[in-house]
């Protein structure tokens, strides 16, 4: 039911222009990939609902089957567990669980090699994710687009909504029309694929 916003499409646009090293996200909704960001360019630090695993056998379970079982009710979930030989869990990170291996494999090198760190919409309270800004090389500029000031070491703080912030940033870069066009085109395509297309109501 959730749809990518301008902020998600801005990240995808950075990738299209060859400027994005990696996107680190705490979100589990996969809206970055729905906006067109390739999975290899995204590290979902808390996992997402794109995949699921049987906890007893470690067998991967198609997420569509999990979704159908959840929507059908408790008995359908029990039947799914019986079919795969154990409890089925979406590949999201619960409190106390380790982050995905890709996080530790890439984070230190990525942050040390980036030329600019852009931080969007976060409280920066959950560790180890909150420590990522500390990994950049000294002198690397940090841009924070957020409703609250959560990082005093940020070189630039643009206070407000993420969508408003990226739109202003796109305007300053001369990308405003390109970003809006990408948002409208891809949003319309996604809605059409979901059977929700309405030419008068494309976000």
The answer to whether 183 is a known catalytic residue is: no
Q: Pull the structure tokens for residue 9.
A: 């499409």
DSSP single-letter state for residue 107: H
What is the separation of C-alpha 106 from the centre of its chain, rounded to a whole number of angstroms?
16
- Identified catalytic residue from 8, 46, 106, 183: 46
Packing angle between helix 176-193 and helix 162-173, nearest 10 degrees? 130
SS (H, E, C) 58-82: CCEECHHHHHHHHHHCHHHHHHHHH
DSSP single-letter state for residue 50: E
Angle value at C-alpha 153, between 166 and 120, nearest 5 degrees: 25
Neighbours of 112 (CB within 10 A): 11
What are residue 44's DSSP bridge partners? 25
On whether the CB atoms of residues 163 and 135 are closer than 8 A, the answer is no
Q: What residues act catalytically?
A: 46
């Amino acid at each position: 039911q959730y749809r990518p916003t301008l902020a998600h499409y801005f990240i995808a646009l950075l990738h299209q222009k060859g400027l994005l090293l990696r996107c680190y996200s705490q979100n589990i909704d996969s809206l970055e990939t729905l906006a067109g960001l390739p999975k290899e360019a995204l590290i979902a630090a808390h996992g997402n609902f794109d995949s699921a695993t049987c906890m007893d056998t470690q067998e991967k379970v198609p997420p569509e089957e999990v979704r159908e079982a959840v929507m059908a009710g408790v008995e359908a979930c029990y039947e799914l567990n019986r079919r795969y030989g154990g409890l089925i869990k979406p590949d999201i990170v619960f409190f106390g669980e380790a982050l995905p291996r890709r996080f530790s494999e890439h984070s230190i090198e990525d942050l040390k090699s980036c030329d600019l760190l852009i931080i969007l919409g976060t409280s920066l309270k959950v560790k180890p994710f909150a420590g990522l800004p500390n990994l950049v090389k000294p002198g690397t500029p940090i841009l924070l687009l957020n409703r609250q000031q959560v990082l005093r070491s940020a070189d630039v703080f643009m206070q407000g909504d993420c969508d408003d912030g990226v739109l202003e940033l796109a305007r300053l870069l001369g990308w405003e029309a390109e970003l809006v066009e990408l948002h409208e085109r891809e949003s319309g395509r996604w809605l059409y694929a979901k059977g929700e297309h309405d030419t008068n109501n494309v976000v």
